[in-house]
Amino acid sequence: LGQGFPDTDGPEEIREAAVRALRAGHGNQYPPGPGIPELRTAVTDHQKRFYGLDWSPETEVLVTAGATEAIAASLLALVEPGD
């Protein structure tokens, strides 16, 4: 697993939303450890709508900075020394 290198700048509307957020004073702080509450809620809403899964955004969703961090966190949570 390596770092991704996108070959596009992404959709214009996403870039504009990022600029608006920065100008509004958002995005200059680290997020809460498990992720921004609104994002965790959006994840659970999506999973419910598309897959019928009913998860708690407060206790069952963890936002990570990518797949490598997610896999490492999962292993650290589940594996004991000697496993």
pLDDT single digits (tens) 53-77: 999 999 999 999 888 899 999 999 9
- Whether 39 maps to a domain, the answer reads yes
Spatial separation of the C-alpha atoms in residues 83 and 75, rounded to whole Å? 11
pLDDT tens track for 7-40: 899 999 999 999 999 999 887 888 888 999 999 9
Residue 26 lies in a domain: no
Number of domains into which the chain is organized: 1
Domain region containing 77: 32-83
Determine the pLDDT at residue 28: 80
Taking the whole predicted model, whether its pTM rises above 0.75 is answered as: no
Residue 50 lies in a domain: yes
Q: For residue 5, give the 3-state DSSP assignment.
A: coil
Q: Looking at beta carbons, which pairs linking 68-76 to residues 24 or more positions away fall under 8 Å?
A: 68/1, 71/1
Specify if 17 maps to a domain.
no
In a domain, 2, yes or no: no
User: What is the C-alpha to C-alpha distance for residues 65 and 35, in angstroms, rounded to an integer?
Assistant: 10
pLDDT at 50 > cutoff 90:
yes
Cα–Cα distance, 66 to 12 (Å, whole number)? 22
Q: Answer yes or no: is 38 within a domain.
A: yes
Residue 15 lies in a domain: no
Residue 39 to residue 78: CA distance in whole angstroms: 25
Distance of CA 36 to the CA centre of its chain: 8
Residue 42 lies in a domain: yes
Q: What is the mean pLDDT of residues 42-60?
A: 97
